Amino acid sequence: MISSLKNIFITGTDTGVGKSIFSALLAISLHNEGKKVCISKPIQTGFPKDTDFLKELTGNKIPIFNTYSFSLPAAPIISAEHENKKIDLEKIILDIRNLEKEFDCVIVEGIGGVAVPITDHVIARSPLMADDEAISKTLRDCRIGASASPHNDTYLVADLIKDLNYPVIIVSRSSLGTINHSVLTIEFAKQKDLNILGFIVSAYDETLNDPVIKTAPDVISKLTKVKCLMKIPLVKKLSFESLNSLAEKFATLKYVC
């Protein structure tokens, strides 16, 4: 069950698919169970800020953390360059590791999807990444010009998930095109050897008699062999109150596909 996990990474098939809504819903559900939970949005770009949206959705009851925030609404590698800044991967990972010490559960919300580039300052991954001293030493020893990622010379969101060693849930749209987007995202995550728990269908309107919406989750599961964990119903007015009400249904997994 999702709520039994200590730490989890939330990614999506694209930007604006509902990652923050699901992150907030999950955090509220865990909070209501009495767990000390926080949300980390390591990198955000553009305005309004996702962290402000998360604070609003969680009623300021869940601590929200952020390491890098840029004004240009683009991939981090572009936004950072636009402001003539560098993204320090060591700082991102160590910030999250510190949260793990303080909270029962850390929910990390990614930016965009799994193939979004964060930086070209690549670090070499190590099986010891879960150890603080090993993280620091590994990252210091693998600065620019050192051993690069075996798959790509640019550090992607998928690489961050891998280095954190977090299980991942993928948030998908419920609209036309979601099969293609979801399958491509899931298959790329498999190539990166990520621990995929399943996918979530966001803004699922059960009142619509639309075969596209109704059949997409089953088709995605059939094509990828990855389970649809939940269909989050369409919430017309997003607020803490509406998500808190929905969290009660979430806790009983009433909307599991």
Q: Can you tell me the distance from the alpha carbon of 43 to that of 29, in angstroms, rounded to the nearest whole number? A: 24
Task: Give the separation between CA 195 and CA 13, rounded to whole angstroms.
Answer: 16
Which of the four pLDDT bands, split at 50, 70 and 90, describes residue 122?
low
- Is the pTM value of this prediction over 0.75? yes
Q: Is the pLDDT reported for residue 1 higher than 60?
A: no
- Bigger pLDDT: 52 or 212? 52
Residue 138 maps to a domain: no
The CA distances from residue 216 to 174, 197, 199, 207, 223, in Å, are 8, 18, 12, 16, 11
The catalytically annotated residue of 19, 41, 162, 231 is 41
Token pair recorded at residue 53 = 């949206």
Gap between the Cα atoms of 219 and 211, Å rounded = 12
Task: Give the CA-trace dihedral at 111, 56, 101, 170, to 10 degrees.
Answer: -40
Question: Is the residue at 103 inside a domain?
Answer: yes
Share of the chain above pLDDT 70, in %: 82
Instruction: Judge whether 49 lies within some domain.
Output: yes
- 146 lies in some domain: no
Which DSSP letter does residue 3 get?
Answer: G
C-alpha closest to that of 226 among 251, 194, 202: 194
When the pLDDT of each residue in the chain is averaged and rounded to a whole number, the result is: 85
Please list the helix, strand and coil fractions of the chain in percent, rounded to the nearest 5, in that order.
Answer: 40, 20, 40
Cβ–Cβ < 8 Å for 163, 93 = yes
Distance of CA 240 to the CA centre of its chain: 20
Element housing 137 (H / E): helix 132-141
91 is catalytic: no
In a domain, 163, yes or no: yes
For position 142, what pLDDT does the model report? Answer: 41
Question: How many structural domains does the chain have?
Answer: 1
Is 214 contained in some domain? Answer: yes
Condensed to tens digits (0 to 9), the pLDDT of residues 32-50 reads 989 999 999 999 999 999 9
Q: Which residues contact 114 (CB under 8 A, 6 or more apart)?
A: 11, 156, 157, 158, 161, 168, 170, 185, 188, 189, 192, 194
Q: Which domain holds residue 44?
A: 2-116+157-251
Say if residues 14 and 184 touch (Cβ distance below 8 Å). no
Any idea what the CATH number is for the domain that residue 53 is in? Answer: 3.40.50.300
User: Does a structural domain hold residue 121?
Assistant: no
pLDDT (mean) for 110-120: 94
Task: Dump pLDDT digits (tens) for 212-248.
Answer: 888 999 999 999 999 999 898 888 888 899 898 888 7
Over residues 56-91, the pLDDT tens digits come to 999 999 999 999 999 999 999 999 999 999 999 999
Residue 133, domain member (yes or no): no
Residue 97 has a CB neighbour count (10 Å cut-off) of 17
Mind listing the pLDDT tens digit for each residue in 126-171? 443 545 554 444 444 443 333 334 445 799 999 999 999 999 999 9
Helix (H) or strand (E) holding 162: helix 157-164
DSSP state of 127: T
Is the peptide bond prior to 76 cis by the omega test (within 30 degrees of 0)? no
DSSP 8-61: EEEEESSTTSSHHHHHHHHHHHHHHTT--EEEE--EEESSS-HHHHHHHHTTT-
